[in-house]
Amino acid sequence: ETGVTQSPTHLIKTRGQQVTLRCSSQSGHNTVSWYQQALGQGPQFIFQYYREEENGRGNFPPRFSGLQFPNYSSELNVNALELDDSALYLCASSPLGGVGTDTQYFGPGTRLTVL
């Protein structure tokens, strides 16, 4: 059974640029959630995708957007990067979509640095 995978591992961007982060959900999981984790802090919920639609969203501006594909993989897009966007971005998948109350299993994360 393949776990949650994310790419790339590390990324360096310049302020104002755009970035796309990718996530493949664990086999059998149809729901993907994205989190932002600043250094030394707990993760903050960005949004969740189920059946290719946004199922819930945290307190993040519209320049954070996402997609989910028919194979349940997902992308996180961030436009107009700001220095404060520098963080570890975590993707998590769960096996029961819709109610979204099942356990979330995390990928290794993408470390984004904005200069």
Partner 1 sequence: AQTVTQSQPEMSVQEAETVTLSCTYDTSESNYYLFWYKQPPSRQMILVIRQEAYKQQNATENRFSVNFQKAAKSFSLKISDSQLGDTAMYFCAFMIHGSSNTGKLIFGQGTTLQVKP
Q: Is 106 in the site for partner 1 (CB under 8 A)?
A: yes
Q: Which helix H or strand E contains 103, and what residues bound it?
A: none
**Is residue 95 at the binding interface for partner 1, with CB under 8 A as the rule?**
no
How big is the chain by its Cα radius of gyration, in Å? 13
Q: Which residues of 9-41 are buried (b: 16+ CB within 10 A; e: fewer)?
A: eeeebeeeeebebbbbbbeebbbbbbbbeeeee
CB of 109 or CB of 114, closer to partner 1: 109
Q: Is 44 in the site for partner 1 (CB under 8 A)?
A: yes
Based on the shown chain and the rule CB under 8 A, indicate whether residue 60 belongs to the binding site for partner 1: no
Can you give the binding site for partner 1, defined by CB under 8 A?
31, 33, 35, 40-45, 48, 50, 55-58, 88, 90, 92, 94, 99-101, 103-109
